[in-house]
Amino acid sequence: MKFYGIFGLVITLVLMSGCDVFDFEDEEDTPEVIERRDLPRELEPSEESLIDGAGSFGFDLTGKIVEDYPRDNMFVSPLSIIMAYGMTMNGADGDTYDQMAEVFGLEDMDREEINSAALSLIELLTEFDEDVKFNIANSIWYRDTFEVESDFLDTNEHYFGATIEPADFNDPETVDLINEWVENRTEGLIDEIVEGPIDDYTVMYLINAIYFNGDWSVPFDPDDTSPQMFHHADGSESEVDMMRIENQESHIYYNSGEDYRAVNLYYGDAGFAMTLVLPDEDVDVQEWVKNLDWEQWTDLTTGFQEANVNLLEMPKFEVSYEVEQFGEILEDLGMIDAFDYTVSDFSKINPDYEDLHISDTRHKSFVSVNEEGTEAAAATSVEVSFTSAPPEVSISFDRPFFYMIREVESNTPMFMGTMTDPSAE
């Protein structure tokens, strides 16, 4: 099966296939209507900007991934990424900061606006719908012998709710502690985000973990699930377990455009939804995604109308995903200086280390969709390191020594000898 997804500020999944699975008849009055849940308050302008930034970045990232890996079952969390990198940005300055802000669509916001928006959105989203479990957790782990600016730690603790953990990075158990933290906050769905052993020059990990678990507002009946063929883009087919809702007197939200049809499937008290988009049969799904931006997606999601369900089918599926070459993708999107120790500026973490840089970054995610609902998780890690300084050497060959003349690339020993008395002929 070929699935591609975006886990944004609502759970949003794009389903791609070549088969026709939706059929709707408009109807004005039906006994059951899903009342879409409103936010308890209006969004602040800074919150809207953060959401727009996450969405724009999400489509930039998705476009790059489907271009590089067109047949992957891709599933990412822009929200998880922007949380981990939002913390990291509090340690950045100069061009390093500016490039990060631009990649994440936050260039029109100052630090205070970004931090305040993160704080209020975390509170809003995690408390929005009592019938859905949605958790956001952040943590910063740093080498206990490395001095970190208190403002950097205090800011991330206050605005991002980050757990601050100084740790012995030379102890192999530290890797287990970090991964255990991620595993616990993703309910066991992601059990590793850091690989050991930790490099001697690594001084910090900034980590986000997100967990979502929601039952459908209108569940699928397991008795209606049956084996059915799924049609791939290359013309091949595979048998999958297809879920079905048919001839129900209940409303669903439906939209269609020039080259697609789409539905919203709600969770819990309709505070969260999965939006599924089915491009037309003659439309290449990778091209459809690559040509979509956040503004177009916003237009799509604001155009839904109630429709009576005649037939809705969708497959059960489960996807574990890790973004390949995540750092290289971020560099391609414009975040260059952060990965280059010769120009990076993370002086707000520690001003005494001019070569602090992002040495590694990872993003992993998981989603499972069945008749009851959806369980999903994501984790993002940012590894910060310094580069070893050239050693200062004082050496005098004033006593007997060994020497070799060699070809460097192959290490061929062309000549070798010992020198015991340079004055002898």
Q: What is the DSSP letter of 332?
A: H
Backbone φ/ψ region at 105: left (φ over 0), alpha (ψ -120 to 50), beta: left
What is the pLDDT at residue 410?
52
What is the pLDDT at residue 197?
95
What is the pLDDT at residue 28?
43
pLDDT along the chain (425 residues), means of 10: 32 33 41 61 89 93 90 89 97 98 97 97 89 95 97 98 97 97 98 96 97 92 93 86 81 87 88 88 85 91 86 90 96 98 97 96 95 95 85 66 59 64 67
CA distance 210 to 9: 11
Domain positions in the chain are 3-215+318-385
Are 379 and 135 contacting, i.e. CB atoms less than 8 angstroms apart? no
CA distance 321 to 77: 11
What is the pLDDT at residue 14?
32
What is the pLDDT at residue 40?
74
- Please count the CA atoms within 13 angstroms of the CA of 144 that sit on its side-chain side: 8
Residue 423 burial by Cβ neighbours in a 10 Å radius (0-12, 13-18, 19+): exposed
Are 77 and 319 contacting, i.e. CB atoms less than 8 angstroms apart? no
Residue 393 burial by Cβ neighbours in a 10 Å radius (0-12, 13-18, 19+): exposed
Fold of 3-215+318-385: Antithrombin; Chain I, domain 2 (3.30.497)
Stated pTM of the model: 0.86
Q: Which one, of 174, 193, 171, lies nearest residue 182 by Cα?
A: 193
State the CB neighbour count (10 A cutoff) for residue 94.
13
What is the pLDDT at residue 416?
63
Token reading at 289: 């995604």
